[in-house]
Amino acid sequence: MRVAFVGHLCIDRNVIRGETETFYGGGVVHGAVTMTRLGAQATVLTKCAEADRGNWDSLGNTGVEVLFLPSRESTSIRNVYPSDNPDDRQSSLISHADPFSAPDIERLDADVVHVNPLWYGEFPPELLPLLRSRAACLAGDAQGFLRHAGEDGRMEYRDLAAKAGVLTLFDVFKVDSKEALILTGHEDVRLAARAVRELGPRTVLLTHRGGVCVYDGGELHESPFTSFTLEGRTGRGDTCTAAFLFALRRMGLREAAAFAAEVTSRKMQYRGPYRG
């Protein structure tokens, strides 16, 4: 199985307990490294400034194929965790790479394509029909379709216009509890997963503080996370999505949910991508 991850690399400035740490990551890094370490082939289609490319040399060393596209700047985000709740995160966009365009995605050749943008506008929704025609399985992360940056850079979540028309293009759509609430108005994760599914995607993968909830219109299954650290919180959803996509090709929905929760729980014990 060959999986392509589409999204910006990111220079993360994480503030945990008042201490700032810098990481060269991005959702596509966590997803692609997880996929590779599980035994599948992974490609990252991304954009960053040429001067910053060397900061992600380790990505290629893991076996991930990286397709760099030019950009004037790189994306950088500041994440502040003010409490011990891993879902309590305040993010600000410091800088951003150029958005993707139609010619950018003509290079993709994969069995599964996961669209994993970090901010709204990074991957314009109008490109999704073109990508849909090229992917046997199309997955997407709600974050990059709901998270907007204000003039001061501060990120805020907004509902997606024409969301039913957009979400119906996805075979797998990943949301967290906050994103599901914005899309559906439901705080209960089971009700939220069902309501997101009604908007069009074939299968919904919902992560929350306690674990994973998946729903495909017929079966709904939940699997818990084990213990976690705040330092391991970054990349939770990206790791979970990659593990779920890997498992879904090999096992049933219940087993795929349990597998994704187990892999994600391991990753949340430490900083950086899943180690295998």
Q: What is the pLDDT of residue 86?
A: 65
- Give the confidence band of 85 by pLDDT, cuts at 50, 70, 90: confident
Helix (H) or strand (E) holding 166, with range, is: helix 163-167
The separation between the first and the last C-alpha atoms of the chain, rounded to the nearest angstrom, is: 18
The predicted pLDDT at position 16 comes to: 82
- Cβ proximity of 30 and 238 under 8 Å: yes
219-276 pLDDT, tens digit each? 999 999 997 787 787 889 999 999 999 999 999 999 999 999 999 999 999 989 999 9
pTM listed for this prediction: 0.94
What is the side-by-side strand order in the sheet with 19-25?
19-25, 10-16, 75-81, 90-95
* pLDDT, tens only, 184-195: 999 999 999 999
| Structure-model confidence comparison of residues 79 and 4, the more confident one | 4
In this prediction, residue 132 carries a pLDDT of 93
97-117 mean pLDDT: 95
Task: Let me know the angle formed at the C-alpha of 64 by 145 and 109, rounded to the nearest 5 degrees.
Answer: 65
Q: What is the spatial distance between Cα 107 and Cα 17, in angstroms, rounded to a whole number?
A: 42
Predicted pLDDT of residue 18: 85
pLDDT band at 6 (very low <50, low <70, confident <90, very high): very high
Cα–Cα dist 175/197, whole Å? 11
Domain ranges of the chain: 2-267
Q: Which residues have CB under 8 Å from 161's CB, separation 6+?
A: none
CATH number of 2-267: 3.40.1190.20
Chain segment 156-215, per-residue pLDDT in tens: 999 999 999 999 999 999 999 999 999 999 999 999 999 999 999 999 999 999 999 999
Helix-, strand-, coil-residue percentages of the chain, each rounded to 5: 35, 30, 35
Q: According to the model, what pLDDT value does residue 146 have?
A: 98
Residue 124 has what pLDDT? 97
Where residue 50 falls among pLDDT bands split at 50, 70, 90?
A: very high
Average pLDDT over residues 106-117: 93
Give the mean pLDDT of the chain: 94
26 pLDDT tier (thresholds 50, 70, 90): very high
